[in-house]
Structure 1
Amino acid sequence: MEIYINREHLLKDIEYPDRYLPGNLLKTSAVIFSIILLFLLLFKPFGVSAPEQKIDYFLICVFHALSPAIIIYAYFGILNYLRERSQMNSWTLLQEYVQIGIVLLLTGIAGFLMRDLIYQHIDNWSWYYLWEEIRNSLVAGSLFYFVLRIGNFYFQSKKGDPFVLQFIPLHIEPGESAVLSPVFIKTQVKQDDFSLYLGELLFAKAEGNYIELTSYKDARLSTELKRISLTQFDAQISSHPHFFRCHRAYLVNMLQIEKVSGNSQGYVLAFRFTEAKVPVSRAQLSNFNGLYEQLQQQYST
């Protein structure tokens, strides 16, 4: 039987999860510690006889719950630092699963290293117990992770914005000056200043101190790299209401959107002339919906 994997779903850009942001990381670690500790105390999954325990069972549970909490806090703290230094904005489900897999592997190794402090057993440093700790961490951790993801999705969907059920592409009259007239854009270096026909622009993507402009002109798709930040570019075209900063790394032309899909966790935008997809962050859903309704009254036919 062939196993089907939706590679596009795994590799498309999504919003970096709030739970891993620096301001939420301590809270995330505390929640994980509390849930794991409660689970261990209630179900007592460790099949170890009392004479082999060097410390009280409650302290054993504390050690096993504290270990993944500390690893998650330290690991994603370092990852956040590296992302900020490298100005990396992309995040995909595949990256998410890889990072969680690494965290679970480290948790299993930490559990193995703690055995000599917790248990009195002649084989504490054997390959058998190393494999057992890693296996248990991967199996139990994976189940625990997906249960938390389902719970998080449920609570977010209850307070999230409604899904765009019937998105009708916006249209504009051919003679509209806001689309046909070029706009002069000033960059950080005067010799790099340029003119841009905004009507041809599909979306702009942040690339560090540069932006990548994706346009459709004369039946041809093109991309250009310009020396200007997305924030500076956004400020210079702010008088054109059909351009929207839908994500910290993307700005889109609302008049070029062909299809909207997604849910209360975020939308994904598709365009007429390219297979590229642009995410709308969860924080911008309400603003996106509001602007779409305004433009629909103005431009739709």
Structure 2
Amino acid sequence: MTFYINREHLVKDIDYPTRYQPENLFKSALIVFFIILGFLLLFKPFGVYDPELKMHYLFICFFHALGPALVLYLYFGILNYYRKTKNQSKWTLLNEYIQIGALLVLIGTTSFLMRDLLYTNPNNWSWNYFFEEIRNCFVAGIFFYFLIRLASFYFESKKGSPFVLQFIPLTVKPETASLQPQLFINTQVKQDDFSLDIDQLLFVKADGNYIELTTLKNNQIMTEVKRISLTQFEAQITAYPHFFRCHRTYLVNMFKVEKVSGNSQGYLLSFDETNSKVPVSRKQIDSFNTYYERLRNQYIA
């Protein structure tokens, strides 16, 4: 039997997990603390020799649960700071597995260093106990990691995220030979009228009676402000079916969207050319899904 690894899946860019982001990190550490504490109290998974204990078993479990929670909080806190200072946005499954492996080694090392605090054993500082702590940490850590991932996947699925997982970029442009890419837009004030290459347009953002056009010209992102409302602008591009009003203040070129993330509370649309993200409001999710499927069947199938 051949053992197959989908390497492309491992190195494909994904969103940085919300559980590691600064605003959720304390909550993630707290969840890890209570899961480990409950597991140790209920199952006593590793051999415990009572005469060696320096304190009640409840406190032993408390410290064994506190160590991983603190290491998790500090490790990803430092990683988040590093990613922010280096302006890093990329994240892959392979990167996550490497970080989790390093985290488990640190947790095992922390458990080893705590042995003198918890146990009266003359061999606390032996290599045997060091490797035992690392081994136990990997056995338990991998189990809990995949358990938490499965739970996370279940709850995200309940919110409606499976559609996001199935999103395929609409790379084939519509065959509309009769439609010219160069479009002349009329505004309320004649001197503010302007021309626009519709194929270069990524998305449009409303700002009161103005709009902000984000375009890709010569492989460079350009932003222009025009004096026209988003509703008036939308009315003049109805002949171009690949533009969708995904939000009260956003209009997006569906053929430029490369990735969709989120759940039934709202989507975020991402583009290859820019780190900017366009929201899909909760009310527009069903319409977005329907519109996407219609375009996909029309131009891809």
TM-score (norm 2): 0.68
Structure 2 counterpart of 1:15: 15
What are the ranges of 5 or more consecutive residues in structure 2 without an aligned counterpart?
186-194, 204-213
How has the CA–CA distance of structure 1 residues 87 and 96 changed in structure 2, closer, same or farther, with 3 Å as cutoff?
Answer: same
Aligned equivalents of 1:22 and 1:104: distance in 2? 20
Identity of aligned residues (%): 46
How has the CA–CA distance of structure 1 residues 94 and 166 changed in structure 2, closer, same or farther, with 3 Å as cutoff?
Answer: closer
Calculate the aligned-residue CA RMSD, in Å.
4.7
How has the CA–CA distance of structure 1 residues 224 and 263 changed in structure 2, closer, same or farther, with 3 Å as cutoff?
Answer: closer
Deviation for aligned residue 1:2: 3.5
Structure 1 counterpart of 2:95: 95
How has the CA–CA distance of structure 1 residues 112 and 296 changed in structure 2, closer, same or farther, with 3 Å as cutoff?
Answer: closer
**Larger Cα-atom Rg:** 2
Is the contact made by 1:182 and 1:196 (CA closer than 8 Å) also made in structure 2? yes
How has the CA–CA distance of structure 1 residues 155 and 297 changed in structure 2, closer, same or farther, with 3 Å as cutoff?
Answer: closer
Deviation for aligned residue 1:288: 6.5
Deviation for aligned residue 1:166: 9.9
Is the contact made by 2:201 and 2:215 (CA closer than 8 Å) also made in structure 1? no
Is the contact made by 2:200 and 2:215 (CA closer than 8 Å) also made in structure 1? no
Aligned equivalents of 1:297 and 1:75: distance in 2? 45
Structure 1 residue 290 corresponds to structure 2 residue 272: no
Structure 1 residue 150 corresponds to structure 2 residue 153: no
Deviation for aligned residue 1:291: 3.8
Residue number among 170, 174, 182 corresponding to 1:171 in the alignment: 174
Deviation for aligned residue 1:89: 1.0
Name the SS for the 1:174 alignment partner. Answer: coil
Matched residue count: 261
Is the contact made by 1:64 and 1:111 (CA closer than 8 Å) also made in structure 2? yes
Is the contact made by 1:254 and 1:292 (CA closer than 8 Å) also made in structure 2? no
Structure 1 residue 70 corresponds to structure 2 residue 70: yes
Aligned equivalents of 2:6 and 2:225: distance in 1? 34
> Please, which moves more after superposition, 286-295 or 118-127?
286-295
Is the contact made by 1:163 and 1:262 (CA closer than 8 Å) also made in structure 2? no
The higher relative CO (CA closer than 8 Å, separation ≥ 6) is in: 1
> Please, which moves more after superposition, 163-172 or 131-140?
163-172
Deviation for aligned residue 1:4: 1.2
CA deviation digits over 1:248-275, x for unaligned, max 9? xxx9842367x999996999x9x9xxxx
Name the SS for the 1:163 alignment partner. Answer: helix
Structure 1 counterpart of 2:85: 85
Structure 2 counterpart of 1:159: 159
CA deviation digits over 1:18-55, x for unaligned, max 9? 11111111111111100110000000123121111111
CA deviation digits over 1:133-161, x for unaligned, max 9? 01111111011100110011011101124
Aligned equivalents of 1:153 and 1:96: distance in 2? 16
Aligned equivalents of 2:179 and 2:109: distance in 1? 63
Pairs within 5 Å for 1:224-239: 224-225=219-220, 232=223
How has the CA–CA distance of structure 1 residues 21 and 117 changed in structure 2, closer, same or farther, with 3 Å as cutoff?
Answer: same
Aligned equivalents of 1:126 and 1:260: distance in 2? 50
How has the CA–CA distance of structure 1 residues 90 and 200 changed in structure 2, closer, same or farther, with 3 Å as cutoff?
Answer: same
Aligned equivalents of 1:170 and 1:261: distance in 2? 19
How has the CA–CA distance of structure 1 residues 97 and 28 changed in structure 2, closer, same or farther, with 3 Å as cutoff?
Answer: same
Structure 2 counterpart of 1:186: none
1:132 counterpart letter in structure 2: E
How has the CA–CA distance of structure 1 residues 124 and 86 changed in structure 2, closer, same or farther, with 3 Å as cutoff?
Answer: same
Aligned equivalents of 2:119 and 2:54: distance in 1? 5
Is the contact made by 2:52 and 2:120 (CA closer than 8 Å) also made in structure 1? yes
How has the CA–CA distance of structure 1 residues 244 and 65 changed in structure 2, closer, same or farther, with 3 Å as cutoff?
Answer: farther
Aligned equivalents of 1:295 and 1:107: distance in 2? 45
Deviation for aligned residue 1:62: 0.4
